[in-house]
Structure 1
Amino acid sequence: MNNNLVVKHNDLIEASYKLTLEEQRLILASISKVDSRKDVPVEIMITAKEYAELFDLQLKHSYFQLKEATNNLYERDIQIKGKKQTERMRWVYKVAYSDGEGYVTLKFSPEIKLYLSQLNGMFTSYQIANIAKLKSLYSIRMYELLNQWKITGKRVIPLGEFRRILELEDSYPRFADLKRRVIQPAVDELNKQTDIAVSFDVEKQGRAVSTLLFSFSAKPVQLEA
C-alpha cells in the first residue's frame, strides 16, 4: 500500500470541499494506494480489514463506516482555485460497496487523477498513520494545510481563504464562534492525536480578525524502552 503514504498536489490540499469523516478516510485510504510516480490505477479496492487497520477500528465498525462512506461520495464535489478560474469536479466517477464481502471499489475521476500522480515537486505528503486517530474532518484538513509548510513550521492563512477551503463562508459568521467550534477543537485534537504540536494567533484589521497565524513543530520521537 505504498507504505500508507498520502501524496497530493498542493492545489488539492488548498481546494474547497467538505466530506464526512468516513468519506475523507476512504479517499485518503484510496490515495495511499497510489504511487505518485506512476499512473493512478483504473480502480482501487479498500477492504474492511485494511480500513480497520489504517484507522485503528474494530472490524465491525469498519464495515459500517465503509458502507456509510459510499452512500453519497459520488455526489461530492471539489472546487480547485486556479489563477484565472475555479474548476469544479467530482472526486469519483464510480464507487461501490460489496455487501457481504466487505470491500469498496472506486474510480477517481480523470480530473482528480491529475492531482495524484506525476506531480513534479508541487505536492504534500504524509503517513496516513499521522491522522488516523483524528475524529474531526476539520482536524484532518488543518493537518494537511500545516504539513504543506512543514519546512518552515509556520502557516499564514487569510481568514477568508481559510473559510473558503473548509467551505465555511456561510457558517459561524462571528469569529468567536468559528474559533470555539472549529479552530480550537482542531488545534487541540492535532496536539493530542498527531505527530505535531500546534499553536495559533491572529492578526486584525481594525477590530476584525483578518489572518490566522499557525506555528507548529514535530513532536519528539518517543523511543520504546
Structure 2
Amino acid sequence: MIVLSNDFINGTYRLSKMQFMIIFRLAERIRQGDTDFRTESFTLSEFVGLKKGQAIGNLYEDCREACKFLKGLRLRIGKRTYQVLEFVECPKYMGYIRLRFAKALKPFFLGLKQNFTPVDFEDVQKMGSGVRIRIYLFLRQHLTLKNRHFDFKKIKAMLGYLPKAYPRFKDFDRRVLQPAYSDIKKFGLLDVEQEIRFLGRQIDKLVVKIKGAVKKVKKAVVPPTSAKPPMPACNTIPGLPPWMNARTLEKLRQEYPEDYLMYAVQVVEQKDNVENPMGYFRSLLPREDFQKEFRAHVSELAKKQQAIALQKTAAKEAEWEAHVYQLFSERNNACRQQFFEQHHNRQTVEVYLRHLQKGRNLPHNRRYYQEWMKCQLMFDVLPEQSKIAYKGWLVKTYGERGDYDQKFFATEMKNSAYYQLFMER
C-alpha cells in the first residue's frame, strides 16, 4: 500500500510510467512512523518488476535513464517546485540500484494524517502510461465525492500538456481521457462515467461519476458438518493439548524457561496410555536426567539448524557465483562491442598487429597474425576466433580491469552493497 498526499497528486507535471514506478517503489518502502527518507537498495529485476522468463529488452537501461532524469527533475506542486531524488546510484552492468527521496518531499509522503490517498502498487502498475496513472490517481482521490466537476483547461494543464496541445476537446477526450477510463474499467479499479456539459457552444465542464469497483470474490463452500465448529474451552490455549490450562502454564513460566516447558509438553504428548498427563508433566520438570535430556536436545537442534544454515549459504553462494558470471559476461560483451565501435580503425589494427608480432613466440598469436595478413586486414572476413581475440585486446587496452578480469570483477562485486542485498533477499 502506498500513501500519497493529495497535493502531490494535484501537482502540475508529466511523468512516464517508468518514472512513476520509481517513485512508487520508493514510496512502498516507507514505514508508518518514519520521520526521514532512507536510502533504499533494489535489484534491477525487482525494480522493473521483471518476471521469470520475461525478456529484459531495454528495461534495465530505461530504468537507469529514468532514475537519472528524476534526479535532475523538479516537480511543480502548488506554487513551488521540488526536487524528486537527491541520491541515485545505478552503476552499469552491476544489476542493482540505490535511491533516496529528496528531503523536500517529506510533507507529501511522511506523517500523513489527512488530505491523502492510499493506492495499491499493483493497481497503478497495470495502467498503460504515466498520463493514465495520473488520471487514475486523480479520480481515486475524489472517490468519496461521487460526482467530480473538471475544468477542461485545468485538467489538461495538470497533466502537463501545453495550451496548444489538443485544442479541441474531442481529440483530448479520444487520445487521453478515454484510454485512461478504458484501463481503469478493464482492470476493475473504478467504475467511471463521463458527462459533458456545454455553455453555449463551449464546453463548460466535465462531470465524472466515480464509484468504487466491486471485485467479485467466490464464497467458499462450507460442508454442513463443519459449518458450526465447536467453541474452544475457555481455559485451553491454541496449539497446546486440552489438559494444559492457561493458569497452570503461567505459574510454571515463573519457575522454568518457555522452551523447556514446551519440550516437556511434546514428550508427554508422544507417550501412549498416560492416564494423568498433567501429573506426568509436572513430575518431569524437576528431574535432573530430564533436564540433561533437554540440553542434549537443544544442542542437537542447534547443530541441525547450523547445518541447514550452512547448506542455504552454500546454495546462495553458488547462485551468487552464477549471477556474477552472468553480469560479467554481459559487461564484457558490452565493452567489447563499445570499444570496437569507438576505436576500430586501420591505425588501431596496425598497433594490434605489432602486439601480435611482439608475442609471436605464442602459437595463437602467430595464427591470429597470419589470419589478419591473409584477410588483408579486413575485419569482416576474419575467422570468428580472431575477431573475438581482437575485441578482447581492445577491452584490455582501453577498458578498466573490471571489464576484462573476471576474478577482479567478482571481488569488486563481493565488496559492494549489492552482495549483501543479494544474500539477504
Counterpart position of 1:151: 144
Report the Cα offset of residue 172 of structure 1.
Answer: 0.9
Q: Is the 8 A contact 1:131 1:194 kept in 2?
A: no
**Superposed counterparts of 1:213-224, under 5 Å:** 213-224=207-218
Relative to structure 1, the CA distance from residue 212 to residue 105 in structure 2 (aligned partners, 3 Å threshold; closer, same or farther) is: farther
> Aligned AA for 1:202?
I
Q: Return the alpha-carbon distance in structure 1 between the equivalents of residues 117 and 51 of structure 2.
A: 20
Match of 1:125 among 118, 143, 151: 118
Q: After the TM superposition, which of the residue ranges 5-14 and 38-47 deviates more from structure 2? A: 38-47
Residue matched to 2:87? 94
The 10-residue stretch of structure 1 (71-80 or 40-49) with the greater mean CA deviation from structure 2: 40-49
Secondary structure of the 1:114 match is helix
Which runs of structure 2 are paired with 1:111-190 in the superposition (5 Å)? 111-170=104-163, 171-190=165-184
Q: Give, in angstroms, the shift of residue 13 of structure 1.
A: 0.8
Residue 19 of structure 2 corresponds to which residue in structure 1?
Answer: 23
The alignment partner of 1:45 has SS state of strand
Is this contact kept in 1: 2:48–2:63, CA < 8 A? no
Structure 1 match to 2:75? 78
More strand by share: 1
Size of the aligned set, in residue pairs, is 217
Q: CA 1:158 to 1:46, structure 2 compared with 1: closer, same or farther past 3 Å?
A: farther
C-alpha contact (below 8 Å) 1:66/1:97 kept by paired residues: no
Name the structure 2 match of 1:109: 102
Q: Say which SS state the counterpart of residue 197 (structure 1) adopts.
A: strand
Q: Distance in 2 between matches of 1:145 and 1:222?
A: 24
Alignment partner, residue 315 of structure 2: none
1:25 alignment partner AA: M
Q: Is the 8 A contact 1:74 1:91 kept in 2?
A: yes
Q: Any conservation in 2 of the 1:124–1:148 contact (CA below 8 Å)?
A: yes
Alignment correspondent of 1:201: 195
Q: d(CA) in 1 for partners of 2:43 and 2:120?
A: 19
Letter in 2 for 1:91: V
CA 1:222–1:109 in structure 2 vs 1: closer, same or farther (change >3 Å)? same
1:156 aligned counterpart, secondary structure? strand
Residues 115-149 of structure 1: CA deviation (Å, up to 9, x unaligned): 11112212111111112211111110011111112
Alignment gaps of 5+ in structure 1: none
Give the Cα–Cα distance (whole angstroms) in 2 for the partners of residues 58 and 69 of structure 1.
Answer: 21
More helix by share: 2
* Larger Cα-atom Rg: 2
Q: Which residue of 1 aligns with 2:309?
A: none
SS at match of 1:190: helix
Deviation at 1:77, TM superposition (A): 1.9
**1:7, CA displacement in angstroms?**
0.8
**CA offset at residue 64 of structure 1?**
4.0
TM-score (normalizing by structure 2): 0.47
* CA-atom RMSD in angstroms: 2.4
Alpha-carbon distance in structure 1 between the residues aligned to 2:53 and 2:201: 45
Compare relative contact order (CA 8 Å, sep 6+) and give the higher one, 1 or 2.
1
Q: How does 1:28-67 map to 2 (within 5 A)?
A: 28-53=24-49, 58=54, 60=56, 62-67=59-64
- Structure 1's 154 and 18: CA in aligned 2 closer, same or farther, altered over 3 A? same
Q: Is the 8 A contact 1:14 1:145 kept in 2?
A: yes
Identity of aligned residues (%): 24
* Structure 1 letter corresponding to 2:199: Q
Contact 2:147 2:209 in 1 (8 A): yes
Question: Does the C-alpha gap of structure 1 residues 159 and 97 become closer, same or farther in structure 2, counting only changes over 3 Å?
Answer: same
Give the CA deviation at 1:169: 3.2
CA spacing shift, 1:36–1:142, aligned 2, 3 Å = farther
CA distance in 2, matches of 1:205, 1:105: 52
In 1, Cα distance between equivalents of 2:87 and 2:204: 40
**Counterparts of 1:70 and 1:27, CA distance in 2:** 9
Separation of aligned partners in 2, 1:151 and 1:54:
35
Q: 1:101 to 1:166 in 2, by over 3 A?
A: same
Q: State the TM-score, normalizing by the size of structure 1.
A: 0.85
Report the CA distance between 1:50 and its aligned residue: 2.6
Q: Are the equivalent residues in 2 in contact too, given 1:43–1:106 (CA < 8 A)? A: yes
- Report how far residue 199 of structure 1 moved: 1.6
Residue 158 to residue 57, structure 1, CA distance change in 2 (3 Å): farther
Change (3 A) 1:36 1:76: farther
What SS is found at the alignment partner of 1:164? helix
Unaligned runs of 5+ in 2: 221-425
Q: Which amino acid aligns with 2:20?
A: Q
